[in-house]
Amino acid sequence: MSEAKSPAGSNAISRAVPPKVDGQWRQLPPDSLHYNQDWYPVRRLLFSKWIDVVDGIPAENEAIRKLSDHFWEGDPLMDDVADMFRRHSGGRGRKMFEQALEQGIDTLDNPPRELVALFDQLDRVPDWISREQVDRGAVVAANVTAAGKAAGVFLNTLQTVQGGMVGAVVGATGRMQRDVLQRARESAAFWLHLPEPGGLSRYGTAFKTIVRVRLMHSQARLMLMRKWGADWIADHGNPIPNAGLVAGIPTFGIVNLMYDAMFGKQYSHQDMEDIHAFWSYIGYLLGGAEEIIPRTPEDGIRILDFALSVVPPPSQYAEELNKVSNLLLEAMLNSFSLPLLDKQVKSLLLQALHGFYFYVGGNFLGARITETTKPTWIGRAVPPMVRVLVRLSNLERWLPGRANRRERNRQQGDPFWRMLSGQFDRLAEQQKDYRQARFNAHDESRPDEMGEAWRES
C-alpha cells in the first residue's frame, strides 16, 4: 500500500502493509489464518443446503483469494476524507462533507480533493449494478419475515460480541459500553430506511445514512491504526478491513433470506439474486472495493463461509460487550409491563430469545452469549414453533394483490426495524434521552482515547 493509501500516519504503518507484487493477491495477515471450530455449527446450519461445509478452512478459490488480499486494505477514499477533517479542524471538514452529501459536491467552492474523489465514486452507479434489480431486492428485503431478520440480528450480535475482529474494534472504541442505547438507535435508523422507495437514490435518506456510517468506520479505522501501530498491523492487517465490509454483503443480505428459507419460507433463486444485488450496491456505497464484491449470491456464500471459518477468538472485551448486550435486552423487556404475570411472561420471552441464540450459534457460542449452559425446554421449542408460523405465512402467496401488498410493506421502511426503532426510541424517552441519530460520534474522538484509555476520557 502506498503512503497515499495510509492516511493513518507514519511511514512505519505504510511499510507494515505488504505491497502487491505483479498484481498478485496477497495472503491473509499472519495472525488471521487460524481455523476457529467454534463457528462450525453456525456455518453448517447456514450453508449446508448450498455448499459442502468442511470442518476446517474452505479451499481457496478466486473470490476467497481476492477477499484475503483485502484484509490489508481499508477504505482509501473515505479514509482520506476522515484524515482531511484533521486539516480542516473546528468542524469545517464535517460542514463541507455534509454540504456535499446533502446538496452535491458542485455546491462547494474549491472543495478539498479528498471530497471530490469520494463523491466521484458515490455519484457513479457502477455498470454492473441494475437499479431495477436493486429495487426488486429492496422489496424482497422488506418482506423477509421477522424470524429471518431476527436470526440475522442474532448472527451479527454473535460476530460483534464473540468474534475477535469486530469485537476488538467495537470494544476498543468504547462506544457500545458507554452509549449502547444510542448506538442501537443509530443502527436501527440505518436499517429502517434501506428498502423504502427512493431510499438509495442519490439524495435518499438511506443513501446519506450509509455514507455517514462509512465515515464513522473510517474515523475509527484511522484512530485504531495510530493507536495499535505498525507491528499490530503487520500481524493482523487493517483494523476495519475492506474484506470485512465486503463479507458484510452476504451477512446482511442473503443470510436473512437463507434463515427464512430454513424456517420454511418459499423464495425463488431470482429473489436471492435480487436481494444480493440490493446489498451489493449498499456494500459499494459503504466503500467495498468493486474488484472483490461478489457478483453472485453463490460467491457471497463462499466468501462468508471462509470469513466465518477464520473468525478470531473472542477479544479482551468480549465479556463486557456480552454484559452490555444482555443489559440492553433486559432494559427492552423492562420497558413495558403487563397487567398479569409480568415477571413470568418476561422470563418466558427471555428463555425463547436464548433458545434462538443456541439455534443460530450452536451450543458453545449460544452458552457464551446467553451466559447459560443450555436452552430450557421453552428455548428448545422456539425453532419448531417458528417453522410452523413461517410456513403458514406462505399462504399469503395465494391471496390476491400480493405484489401491491409486498410493495406496501416497505413504504415506511423495513417493518421489522421500524418496530425495533420504536422500542429503542421509547426506551430512550423513558431515560430522558432526546438525542437524534447523527452518526457523528467519532468527530471528537482521539487515538489516545482508544483501547483501555476511553474509560478515563
* Closest to 253 measured CA to CA, from 273, 234, 224, 233: 273
Q: Collect contacts of 406-409 with beta carbons under 8 A, ≥24 apart.
A: 406/139, 406/142, 406/143, 407/139, 409/139, 409/142, 409/143
Cell of 331: 432494559
183 has a pLDDT exceeding 60: yes
| Structural domain boundaries in the chain | 42-71+136-194+239-435
**Choice among 2-11, 82-91, 238-247 with the minimum mean pLDDT:** 2-11
| pLDDT for 451 | 63
* Closest to 349 measured CA to CA, from 382, 390, 388: 382
Whole-angstrom distance, CA of residue 145 vs CA of residue 256: 9
Q: What percent of the chain has pLDDT over 70?
A: 95
The helix/strand/coil state of 287 is coil
Tally of residues, the chain: 457
The stretch 426-431 carries a mean pLDDT of: 90
319 has a pLDDT exceeding 50: yes
Q: What percent of the chain has pLDDT over 90?
A: 74
| Other CB atoms within 10 A of residue 426 CB | 13
**Choice among 23-27, 244-248, 314-318 with the minimum mean pLDDT:** 23-27
397 DSSP 8-state letter: G
Do the beta carbons of residue 335 and residue 427 sit within 8 Å?
yes
* Closest to 33 measured CA to CA, from 312, 246, 292: 312
Do the beta carbons of residue 199 and residue 193 sit within 8 Å?
yes
Burial letters 347-365, b for 16+ CB under 10 A, else e: eeebbbbbbbbbbbbbebb
| pLDDT for 253 | 93
- Between the alpha carbon of residue 381 and those of residues 46, 242, 315, 352, the distances in Å are 19, 39, 32, 8
277 has a pLDDT exceeding 70: yes
| pLDDT for 421 | 93
Whole-angstrom distance, CA of residue 127 vs CA of residue 113: 25
332 has a pLDDT exceeding 90: no
456 has a pLDDT exceeding 60: no
Q: Give 354-382 pLDDT, tens digit per residue.
A: 999 999 999 999 999 999 999 999 999 99
Mean pLDDT of all residues belonging to the chain: 91
The stretch 160-184 carries a mean pLDDT of: 90
Whole-angstrom distance, CA of residue 427 vs CA of residue 55: 42
Whole-angstrom distance, CA of residue 226 vs CA of residue 64: 28
